[in-house]
Structures are given as structure tokens and as C-alpha cells.
């Protein structure tokens, strides 16, 4: 018995376009992000899910609404939030060039990568029990996806960060994960 997860990232935000690390701030989809979310919805229209989970941050909620409309009920979960960059939420994202510094060391007044991993492990435990042998979708952010790479693909945090698709700009319409 396993749970199949298709992971989607939120559309481009105005902060992304301005090289700002949004973190736990709501974030606003840019015109490009709105179009990306709508296009994603058209690309995945034939896929069927048993549930749609979204980070509770505005940029993920907006992406979920634009991509899925009212085809599914959205379940918001704050455990799917981006890493809390603490004092660096809303600041220029230069610090994100080397996230490995924050695998164990928290951002000032924020979280570290291991904190995000704990949140995601808790989320996976809960959804695995409720949605065993089902297919769910998640719409969220970078750090939770990296945590899935660690938790479900057996990567170290260093590997997950180094192999992140964002480094090569190799976006795709969803990433598949399986919870056994």
C-alpha cells in the first residue's frame, strides 16, 4: 500500500522577479505566475487526484485556485509552507545561493532545513494514514520539495540542494513521489 504524490510549485511571484526571498510572507503572483498557474491547469486537466493540498501562503493558494479551480476542494496545511527565513523574510535572496549553511543552522529568528524536514515528515505521516493507496497533489514551495527529496528519495540535504531543478531551470508540470 502506498501513497502517490504529485508535487507542484507555485507560480512566479513579484518577489521572484525582484530577487526577494518571500519566506513566510504571503507573496503575490506576478502576471507571469498567473499565466503559469492557468497553463499548469490546462496541462494536468486529465490527471485525477483524491485530494489537493496547498501551503496556506497566498502564492500557493492562488496557484492552486488558478490551476484546479473548483474541481477539487483545497486543503490548506501550514506544514507545507516555505522555510521561515526569519529576519530575512522579504529580503534580497542572495543568502539562498548557499542553503547548505542552513541545513542545521537556523536563519536568524527562523527555521533551518531540518525544521522543514520535520514538518514534512509530520505531514507525510498524516496523509499516508488517511490517503493510503490514493493519489494526492501538493502545491507548495522550494524547501518542502527539497525535504521530500530527502525523505522519499534518500538524498542528503546537500544532494537535494545541489540537484534542485531550480538551478538548471528544468521546471516540469509536477514531480512524482511515492510513500510506501
The full set of domains in the chain, from first to last, is: 3-179 (3.40.50.1240)
Distance between CA atoms of residues 47 and 157, nearest Å? 30
Q: Are 150 and 103 in contact (CB under 8 A)?
A: no
What mean pLDDT is predicted for residues 155-162? Answer: 97
Q: Are 105 and 112 in contact (CB under 8 A)?
A: yes
On the question of pLDDT at 1 being above 80, the answer is: no
pLDDT of res. 98: 87
What mean pLDDT is predicted for residues 74-81? Answer: 98
Distance between CA atoms of residues 3 and 41, nearest Å? 22
pLDDT of res. 133: 95
Q: Which residue has the cell 498524516?
A: 126
Q: Are 147 and 120 in contact (CB under 8 A)?
A: yes
Average pLDDT, the chain: 96
On the question of pLDDT at 123 being above 80, the answer is: yes
91-92 and 20-21 as β-strands: parallel, antiparallel, unpaired? antiparallel
Residue 118: which pLDDT band, with cuts at 50, 70 and 90? very high
Of residues 46 and 146, more confidently modeled: 146
51-54 and 74-76 as β-strands: parallel, antiparallel, unpaired? parallel
Containing H/E element for 155? none
What mean pLDDT is predicted for residues 80-84? Answer: 98
Amino acid at each position: 500500500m502506498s501513497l502517490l504524490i504529485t508535487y507542484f510549485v507555485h507560480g512566479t511571484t513579484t518577489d521572484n522577479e525582484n530577487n526577494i526571498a518571500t519566506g513566510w510572507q504571503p507573496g503575490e503572483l506576478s502576471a507571469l505566475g498567473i499565466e503559469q498557474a492557468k497553463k499548469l491547469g490546462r496541462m494536468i486537466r486529465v490527471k485525477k487526484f483524491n485530494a489537493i493540498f496547498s501551503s496556506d501562503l497566498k502564492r500557493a493558494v492562488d496557484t492552486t485556485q488558478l490551476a484546479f479551480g473548483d474541481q477539487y476542494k483545497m486543503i490548506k496545511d501550514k506544514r507545507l509552507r516555505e522555510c521561515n527565513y526569519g529576519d530575512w523574510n522579504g529580503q534580497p535572496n542572495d543568502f539562498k545561493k548557499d542553503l547548505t549553511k542552513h541545513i542545521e543552522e537556523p536563519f536568524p529568528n527562523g527555521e533551518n532545513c531540518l525544521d522543514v524536514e520535520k514538518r514534512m515528515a509530520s505531514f507525510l505521516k498524516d496523509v499516508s494514514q488517511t490517503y493510503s493507496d490514493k493519489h494526492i497533489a501538493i502545491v507548495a514551495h522550494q524547501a518542502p520539495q527539497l525535504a521530500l527529496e530527502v525523505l522519499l528519495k534518500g538524498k542528503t540535504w546537500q544532494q537535494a540542494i545541489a540537484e534542485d531543478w531550480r538551478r538548471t531551470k528544468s521546471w516540469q508540470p509536477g514531480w512524482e513521489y511515492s510513500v510506501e
